[in-house]
Structure 1
Amino acid sequence: MDDSQQKPHALIFPYPLQGHVIPSVHLATKLASNGFTITFVNTESIHQQISKAAGLDSGATGDGDADIFSEARKSGLDIRYATITDGFPLGFDRSLHHDKFFEGILHVFPAHVDDFVGNLVRSDPTINCFIADTFFVWTSMIANKYNLVNISFFTEPALVFTLYYHMDLLRQNGHFATPGKSFSTAFLRRLNHHHTHTQTRNKGEIFMLLR
């Protein structure tokens, strides 16, 4: 990389579910291997689960042995690790009360992320990229607020993306129907939004899909 160019520094926010965190970790190491500085941000709850599973001390800020990228840094990768509250106490059972949890992720968590990103950007102006899971439907507002390149990372297989994207056709042809229940359209609208921006590159938004 040309030393005269600013080194890309990306924030990565995975959706707080194991199946979304793992691909985000892989993305972080891949980008860091290609010259990126990465600040990876887990929720405190996910951090606690990972630490407990690994038999590590779950420091509240991701310090010490509980830092999941400590070995990566030893190999020379510039990956920093931080944690953020999801708005619920650590003792709150997110699996048992999943509806309440998802409502919080949709309506409460964005305010915590906004404050967190704002503080980071003010303390480290090298941050220029915001990579967040596509399941977060509010990321463009935060990225635009702090003048960051907004990248939506879809962690599931391309087939799953296709199923979500064409849910209306699946319904029309009788392949998907749940009597008495409505499928949330917020995420589908977000996918359509991303599809438009992928074509136009409007507002610097980029959509990443695992292959």
Structure 2
Amino acid sequence: MGLPHVLALPFPAQGHVIPFMELCHCLVDHGFKVTFVNTEFNHKRLLTALSAESTVEQIALVTVPDGLGPEEDRNDLARLAEAFMKVMPRCLEELIEKSNETEDPMTCMLVDANMGWALEVGCKKGLRPASFWPAAAQVLATLLSIPELISRGVIDADGTQISEHETFQLGSSTSRSSSSATPSKRSKSQPSATIQRFFPSGRCSPASGRAAPACLSWLDEQQPGSVVYVAFGSFTIFDRLQFQEFALGLEATGRPFLWVVRPDLISDSADAYPDGFKERVGERGRVVAWAPQQKVLAHPSVACFVSHCGWNSTMEGVRNGKLFLCWPYFGDQFLNQSYICDDWKVGLRMTPDESGIVKREQVKSKVEELLSNEEMRARASMLKENAQQNINEGGASLENLKTFMDAFKP
């Protein structure tokens, strides 16, 4: 009998593909073969991103269409989901059918929980199913609790809060952990385990396969604990006024900074930097279109992380013991901000004024407040140590991962 063979299907967005690939590397390390299914659009990005050591024999990268035309906007997630539902089910069936004709047919299926419909395809073809939730476990627990919240009158069908006084206790699945691999239904055929995010040697880091960028050499030249690192993920959009206020705030800190500015970060595509900004900051500030985030956050010169609080970024910052300035944009990023600021107490919130703008004075003052807080720094170091212990041999996350894999094998 050959290796257990997993059909892995992430949701086609960068924040989902990266942790999915990390988990697949862990599966390979423990005796699985993986067929990793990506959309044609994201496949090109993944090939560019993976380092040489990522291309291992037991992970086969295959592509399926996403149903959108070449020029359509793949950041419109609702449109993307509608489109791939029309083409992906049949493509997956064909992949499984072709696999059945080989010496190592697919035996199980790992699906992003946001694409639960695909589990039905796998079950119909006889694959052992499991689903993976790449965000905070609390988000999934809350979503699964919506029917009960409605039935108990806590919220209405539109999600509006009705009762301000009723206490609602979520189930044990709300355990505040770093990440989770969870099934859509709890049964013997769908194993479940809470697993902290793994980062195996940076092999799944976005664009880790590229040559070391100049920003890493620039970081080497900075003093330990001095640099403000800024990155807002794949979806955040700033208008011109907010972009300029933030730039002037970074300048006013007087600290070295590394700022990732995507080509589409600004709603107005024209050059939005304040007049003379780049000339004034000179070599003290480095603005780049992309940075190898895991390597940046692991660098000793980085003092804090100005972040949109996506779960990937949150875990990368926590794992490296960094302090946060939180600026969430949408969705679960606001919950992640609550973890950072209220539960873990390793970060501060950015707060817009009455006009909806975070002013330059606040950027400067929050950086100063954050970096002068020794208690927060100590908690960040403790979280870093705890995270490392959790993924080491004997740690809870690694043991949970082994339990999950044993249950997942045929």
Match of 2:38 in 1: 42
Does structure 1 conserve the Cα–Cα contact (< 8 Å) formed by 2:111 and 2:119? no
Q: Which residue of 2 aligns with 1:22?
A: 18
Match of 2:191 in 1: 206
CA distance in 2, matches of 1:132, 1:162: 18
For the structure 1 residues 104 and 40, does the alpha-carbon distance in structure 2 shift closer, same or farther, using more than 3 Å as the test?
same
Q: Tell me what 1:115 maps to.
A: 94
Stretches of 4+ aligned residues off by more than 4 angstroms: 207-211
1:40-189 aligned within 5 A: 40-51=36-47, 56=48, 68=50, 70-73=52-55, 78-96=58-76, 98-170=77-149, 172-174=153-155, 177=159
Gaps of 5+ in 1: 57-65, 180-192
| Cα distance, 1:45–1:126 mapped onto 2, change above 3 Å | same
Percentage of matched positions with identical amino acids: 26
- Take 1:86 and 1:32, find their aligned partners in 2: how far apart are those partners? 26
Query: Per the alignment, do residues 158 and 140 of structure 1 end up closer, same or farther by CA in structure 2, a change over 3 Å counting?
Result: same
Q: Contact 2:7–2:110 (CA<8 Å) still a contact in 1?
A: yes
Contact 1:14 1:24 in 2 (8 A): yes
Equivalent-residue separation in structure 1 for 2:154 and 2:91 (angstroms): 41
- Give the TM-score, by structure 1 length: 0.68
Rg (Cα) greater in structure: 2
Distance 1:72 1:95 in 2: 26
CA shift digits 1:18-75 (9 cap, x unpaired): 1211110110111111111112111111123345xxxx4xxxxxxxxx7x3742346x
Q: 1:136 to 1:89 in 2, by over 3 A?
A: same
What is the root-mean-square deviation in Å for CA atoms of aligned residues?
2.9
In structure 1, distance between residues paired with 2:11 and 2:145: 22
What is the alpha-carbon distance in structure 1 between the residues aligned to residue 88 and residue 160 of structure 2? 29
C-alpha distance after superposition, 1:142-167 (max 9, x if no partner)? 21232211111122211111111112
Larger RCO (CA under 8 A, 6+ residues apart): 1
Contact map agreement 1:28 1:38 (CA 8 A) in 2: yes
Q: 1:96-140 CA deviation, whole Å, 9 max, x = no partner?
A: 4x4332212334322222222322333354321111111112223
Q: What is the TM-score of this pair, normalised by structure 2?
A: 0.37
Contact 2:36 2:60 in 1 (8 A): yes
Gaps of 5+ in 2: 162-182, 197-410
Partner of 1:194: 184
User: Whole-Å Cα distance in 1 between the matches of residues 121 and 51 of structure 2?
Assistant: 25
**Is the CA contact 2:6–2:34 (under 8 Å) kept in the aligned structure 1?**
yes
